[in-house]
Chain A
Amino acid sequence: MPSASEPTTAPTAATAPAVTLARRPVGRIVPAVAVLVLAAAVLSFPSLAPNPYILSAGVVVLNYAVLSTSWNFVGGFTGYISLGHGALAGLGAYGTALLVTRAGLPSFVALAVAALLVAALAVPIGFAALRVRGASFVIVSIALVLILLLVFQSWASLTGGSRGLVVPRPFPGLLRPEHHRVFYFLFAGLLGLALLAWWLIDRSRFGLGLKAIREDEDKAEALGTPTFAYKLVVFVVSAGFTALAGGLYALWFGDLDPVFQFSILTGSYMVLMALLGGVRHLFGPVVGALVVGFALEYFKVEFGNTPLHLVATGLLLALVVLFMPDGVLPAIGGLLNRLSRPTQSSIREVTAAQLRDERAAASAAEGTRDRGDAAAATAGGRPQSTRERA
């Protein structure tokens, strides 16, 4: 072996640590680039959309993305699955609409006030639902949808009942395509806000406590995590964002009907999107919203109003729950990992037999290298010591 090429060829045995070192900056750059690409794609969509219908479909998908990201505050961090977040969105929508029509507030002030009211209402709901574990929480979340549907349908003098409630447009002068465009950007902004909040919680000590609840609530409590308070706070945050999305939808769509606002299906779409994308990932719900939102629009176009979209939703949900409970993003990540295993196998995944072989090879290589220069020997010594630790 010529000694001139030694420094570059010697660390062949040291690829594993070299890659982990190199991966760290890559680990930071890849998400940053992904975020930029995603943001650029989202923001350029309105100018690329060929007609207002596509643009309005984009608004619907963004609405779904905000909703499922809001859902993921509870579902992703704590593992508590709520099927009733549709009701919170409906409350936000009706709250905004009623504050505009009855109290005469400006549209966006009404939106903010409604979101705060819903967040406040989420405190007693969460108090009842979160004191007990899993099963009761799901039951309460479903009951919430059913009870609110009952109330909003029956209380026709306030809510308009089944005749619906018309929400005045916030920008009366705008033509319809322009209206879609403005709301597209509003929803995009709200999505950015929700993602930022999720990201911040994910990195915080608070988020760590929430994830501890997801993994093992008893142990988390034993270690001093105020589990009930944490669950309640994150539920309230989630309710606030969900209400914002619902209220913005009310301002955009302009017509509310209890059957659609307090539909158990809305909540199940949120769950489906988040699960499909991957509840443990920041962008999981967004990816899920893209897939499910597109599929829903496609179904509407293909099959019209037949109940077949129910069957499709149910089948998709069952498939995700049975075969992909961690979502698409981890599945893709796992696939990539498997394909590129030879170059980036982590130290821990090496079996004892492989370790023995590698050591033998390394020591043999070291033996030959000792005759070369001393610098190469120290470079070769580094993987040796990391492996000892493993």
Chain B
Amino acid sequence: MPSGALLFQSVILGLLLGGLYALLAAGLTLYFGIMRVVMIAHSAFLILAAYLAWWSHSRLGVDPLLSMVVTVPLFFGCGVLLQRLLLARLRPVTLTMMSVLLTFAIAVVIEGLLGYVFTGTQRRIQLGYGSASFGLFGARIAVVKLIAFGLAAVALAALYLLMKKTTFGWALRATIQHRDAARLVGIETDRVAGYGFGIGLATAAVGGTALALDTTIYPSLHWHWIGPLMAIIVVGGLGSVPGAAMAAMVLGLMQSLLQIPLGTTWAQTIFYLALFATLAFRPQGFFGGRLAQRF
């Protein structure tokens, strides 16, 4: 039986990790809600943002957090273009399947280009405050992990406020709920969908920066993220943002706790076990609404 302090440490780390998962899963859920698109390239953009943060730190000497000034608007633009120029061209009948392939292709291209430009060498940001940590009831918490969690929390809160309190968020939610009806009441659903994609990709920029702070990155890392993220959105119920956030916290916590007896590699399997169990026993997910029934 592991000591109480170790358990407490794992719980804290799990919650911090879960926050990052929640932010990234929110982006995936947004895409799915808007267009029924499973965006495989989400985590590739995440790694791209992490590389840009690393690059700006090691080559330009700026704090990785400042790279967000560039990456967030850049990714927003990429998202809008991605939706308007590529995904909107696909046939509606086979959209779900073909969009998976298209975003998969984008992910592979990003991975290949990252490997070509930055080589396959593992990279890590060396920060002045990188090894700083503080104690809390016997648990050691690294400052960078806390910053990463803070970033994720702020971004999630901003996303929530945007969705609930602004006219744009109202239009976006209407588009997600019923596209035709939204168009009937005068919402320009195409433009809104494009912006929604931009916002989703902007969350990847924030997440990538947070990830770069305390993780060693390499081009093929995105496969390690897309699996857990997709498991999270299925367990949470495809298309449900609160569901995805809940599932992210729960699964992040479980992964962290299972690392004590099983080690890091086997602890990852919890995501896939949860995925298979959810699909076998409750295919619509645990927090899923109307959308999840048919997908």
Task: Decide: B112 and A135 in contact? CB cutoff 8 A.
Answer: no
Q: Is A336 located at the chain interface by the 8 A CB criterion? A: no
Please pick, from A135, A150, A311, A325, the residue contacting B295 in the complex, using a CB distance under 8 A: A135
Q: Whole-angstrom distance from the CB of B140 to the nearest CB of chain A?
A: 27
Task: Decide: A150 and B265 in contact? CB cutoff 8 A.
Answer: yes
A312-327 residues at the B interface, CB under 8 angstroms: 312-315, 317-318, 321-322, 325
Task: Decide: B279 and A317 in contact? CB cutoff 8 A.
Answer: no
Task: Decide: A321 and B230 in contact? CB cutoff 8 A.
Answer: no
Please pick, from A128, A131, A135, A322, the residue contacting B102 in the complex, using a CB distance under 8 A: A322
Assembled-state Cα–Cα distance A154/B265 (Å): 7
Given contacts A134-B295, A310-B111, A310-B112, contact A139 B275 (CB under 8 A): yes
Q: Whole-angstrom distance from the CB of B21 to the nearest CB of chain A?
A: 15
Q: Which residues of A contact B226 (CB under 8 A)?
A: 142
Q: Is the interface of B mostly helix, strand, loop or mixed?
A: helix
Q: Which residues of B contact A121 (CB under 8 A)?
A: none
- In this complex, how many residues of chain B approach chain A with their Cβ under 8 Å: the count is 51
Q: Is B65 located at the chain interface by the 8 A CB criterion? A: no
- In this complex, how many residues of chain A approach chain B with their Cβ under 8 Å: the count is 45
Q: Whole-angstrom distance from the CB of A73 to the nearest CB of chain B?
A: 16
Task: Decide: A138 and B97 in contact? CB cutoff 8 A.
Answer: yes
Binds B, one of A27-35, A36-44, A301-309: A301-309
Q: Is B70 located at the chain interface by the 8 A CB criterion? A: no
Q: Is B157 located at the chain interface by the 8 A CB criterion? A: no
Nearest first, the 9 closest Cβ-Cβ pairs linking A and B are A310-B112, A307-B115, A314-B109, A314-B108, A311-B112, A317-B105, A318-B105, A146-B227, A147-B272
CB<8 Å pairs between A and B, sample of 21? A128-B280, A131-B279, A132-B279, A135-B36, A138-B97, A139-B234, A139-B275, A143-B276, A147-B272, A271-B101, A275-B101, A306-B116, A307-B112, A307-B113, A307-B116, A312-B112, A314-B105, A315-B105, A315-B109, A318-B102, A318-B109
> What 9 additional pairs, Cβ within 8 angstroms, besides A143-B231, A307-B120, A314-B108?
A124-B280, A128-B279, A132-B295, A133-B295, A135-B36, A135-B100, A264-B223, A313-B108, A314-B106
Residues of B within 8 A of A (CB): 32, 36, 38, 40, 86, 89-91, 94, 96-98, 100-102, 104-109, 111-116, 120, 219, 223-224, 226-227, 230-231, 234, 238, 265-266, 268-269, 271-272, 275-276, 279-280, 283-284, 294-295
